[in-house]
Amino acid sequence: MARVRLRVPAPRPAFATGAVATASITPIDLPQAPHAAAARVDTPPLSRREKGRGSEGMPPAPTPAPHTAAREGRSVPAHARIVAEVLAARHFRHLSPDLVTRVTAVEAPKAPRHADAVDRVKRRLHQVANAYVPALHAPRDAIDAIRAAAGDADALRVLAVSLMHGHASTAERLPTLDLVGPALRRVIGTGVDLPPRRVVDLACGLNPLLLPWLGLPRDCTYEAYDVDARLVGIVDAFLQAWGQSGSASVRDVVGDPVGGTADLVLLMKAVPCLDQVRAGSARTVLSGIHARRVIVTWPIQSLGGTAKGMRATYRRACDALVADLPYVVAEVAIPGELAFVLDRAPGAGPDA
């Protein structure tokens, strides 16, 4: 496995509340975290029966009403059993039940036996969500630290830097955070007459922890959605502590798309993840919301550090994403990412 040198906190950090420079975090060597691009995820084998109770993460949402999916002559509610078993496993109990149900509907029919179906669903869920948070530690402690730092901008910036190590996508931004923040701030404001009043962050991960660097008005409503309840708990606590209007919610935005009108939609390194279960899902998500501006980004290098062919591949992916949608597309410079701004075409109505 390729290795990368990152500045990360100890596994269960004593979260500081004072202004501490990023450089004070002791560098250690860790295996490089999987990235959001589905083709670059190394999926380890998962056991058929995961034992143990509890999780360091947030408790899962209630299991959805079971649906019957009898096949091969069986009359038992097979898919409901799979969903229940997966959500009972400690490595998956923090995920959106709607996501687990949707993945089960796709993966279970491919397996000849119940145990094989459970394995397939777990593997796919690992690729969709769990692969990106190998360094997420003690989310409950993180939430307590955030709440304790409420109103202290310097302390919250320090916590944000520390916590962004917990997700692969945000961890990749940390070495160039002083450049990424201003670049995003310019893109959010470029060509927009008024600051955004509603921001929708889809498959947000820990992106909202960038708020201290974005300069959004505190009364701008920031809505963040993710399938991981642990990330949602951290993000929601951070929004409140920062004094930002809005909230974070557990939501499978593919199965339950976000609608309405938004000034700004963020799809940051999220398209490969959204398309992991079924190709074209990100396009469905994007077409369901009337956005004045969209910022969509992709990674530019593989786990091994090579960038060969990735820019060209994801430029084609962007073309496919916006084909026939009412957006004018422009590539913009954001360090470490292939980024595009999608501005709604003049005269395009809410149903366009």
- DSSP annotation of 172: H
- DSSP annotation of 59: P
- How far apart (Å, rounded) are the C-alpha atoms in residues 349 and 344? 9
Measured over all CA atoms, what is the biggest interatomic distance in the chain, rounded to whole angstroms?
Answer: 64
DSSP for 204-225? -TTGGGGHHHH---TTSEEEEE
Residue with tokens 């469905």: 284
Contact 300, 270 (CB under 8 A): no
Contact 34, 168 (CB under 8 A): yes
Q: Tens digits of per-residue pLDDT, 40-64?
A: 444 444 444 443 334 444 544 544 4
DSSP-derived pairing of the beta strands 27-31 and 327-334: unpaired
DSSP-derived pairing of the beta strands 27-31 and 3-7: antiparallel
**Which segments of 149-268 does DSSP mark as H helices, in order?**
153-163, 168-173, 177-189, 211-214, 229-242
- DSSP annotation of 259: -
Q: Tens digits of per-residue pLDDT, 229-280?
A: 999 999 999 999 999 999 999 999 999 999 999 999 999 999 999 999 999 9
- Asked if the model's pLDDT at residue 29 lies above 60, the reply is no
Domain spans in the chain, listed from the N-terminal domain onward: 38-132, 139-344
Q: Tens digits of per-residue pLDDT, 210-222?
A: 999 999 999 999 9
State the amino acid at position 39 in one-letter form. A
Contact 299, 337 (CB under 8 A): yes
CATH code given to domain 139-344: 3.40.50.150
Residues in Cβ contact with 313 at an 8 Å cutoff, skipping those fewer than 6 apart: none
Instruction: Return the minimum-mean-pLDDT range out of 69-83, 103-117, 124-138.
Output: 69-83
Angle at CA of residue 166, ends 163 and 170, nearest 5°: 85
DSSP-derived 3-state class of residue 283: helix
Residue 261, token pair as written in the block? 């009108």
φ, ψ for residue 17, nearest 5 deg: -120, 5
